Structure 1
Amino acid sequence: MASQSQGIQQLLQAEKRAAEKVAEARKRKNRRLKQAKEEAQAEIEQYRLQREKEFKTKEAAALGSHGNSAVEVDRDTADRMGRIQASYRGNREAVLGELLRRVCDIQPEFHANYRVAG
């Protein structure tokens, strides 16, 4: 009986050691997964920063050329406005005079389609 009891004790100890080994294996697996996740996050962040840098470079190039055209459009608009205002100042008196002359110079006449009823 003692040998049977001793055999049971050995089995229990072996089972305990097996459970400890399984627990250690699970811990190692979890550590490896955590490490792999951290490495993947670092790679993702590095890739994101690289793509963001490329985007900023392309954006600056596009906006730089767009900024130049905006300045050119503003300059052209100011030039046209200046010419329009100068034309207005130069022709204002002549146009007003012609309008007043036409409004005040009344010459009554019959319309071409008017027929005298009678």
Structure 2
Amino acid sequence: MTSNRGQGGIQQLLAAEQEAQHIVAAARNAKMARLKQAKEEAEREIAEYRAQVEREFQRKLAESVGDSGANVKRLEQETEVKIHHLKAGAEKIQYDVVQMFLKHVTTVKN
């Protein structure tokens, strides 16, 4: 009888060990599934963040290019105005400058 009892105890231990292995395997699989899900969520968040940063960069780039075009146009207009003022000023004093040159060139000093 003790032999049967011993045999039954061993069977119980083997069954308990197998059940424990199944529980550990199930827990390991659940953990791996959670890690995989967390990794996928993190990758999705990273992709969304990258897309957001890229959109912001492209928007700022477009603004700066637009601003640059506006700045170029504004600077061209300012330059044209300054050139016009310089030409007008030169025309005003052109006669006097020519007369001054002629006076200095034609005057002979001893």
Give TM-score scaled by structure 2 length.
Answer: 0.73
Deviation at 1:51, TM superposition (A): 2.3
Kindly report the root-mean-square deviation, in angstroms, between the aligned alpha carbons of the 2 structures. Answer: 2.3
Q: Give me the whole-angstrom Cα distance separating, in 2, the residues matched to 1:23 and 1:80.
A: 83
Letter in 1 for 2:37: R
Q: Which one-letter code corresponds to 2:59 in the other structure?
A: Q
Letter in structure 1 aligned against 2:79: A
Taking only the aligned residue pairs, the percentage that are identical comes to 10
Q: Which runs of 5+ in 1 are unaligned?
A: 105-118
Q: How does 1:95-110 map to 2 (within 5 A)?
A: 95-98=104-107, 100=108, 103-104=109-110
- Once the two structures are superposed, what CA deviation does each residue of 1:93-112 show, in whole Å capped at 9, x if it has no partner? 322333x2xx31xxxxxxxx
Out of 50, 53, 62, which is 1:41 matched to?
50
Tell me if 1:66 matches 2:90. Answer: no
- CA deviations on 1:40-73 (whole Å, 9 max, x unpaired) are 1101111221222223333322321211111222
Which letter maps to 1:65? R
Amino acid at match of 2:16: G
- For structure 2, the residue ranges without an aligned partner over 5 or more in a row are 1-9
Match of 1:25 among 34, 45, 54: 34
The structural deviation recorded for 1:26 is 0.4
Paired letter, 1:28: Q
> Among residues 10, 16, 26, which one is paired with 1:7 in the alignment?
16
User: Higher helix share goes to which structure?
Assistant: 2
Larger displacement relative to structure 2 (69-78 or 85-94): 85-94
How many correspondences in the alignment?
101
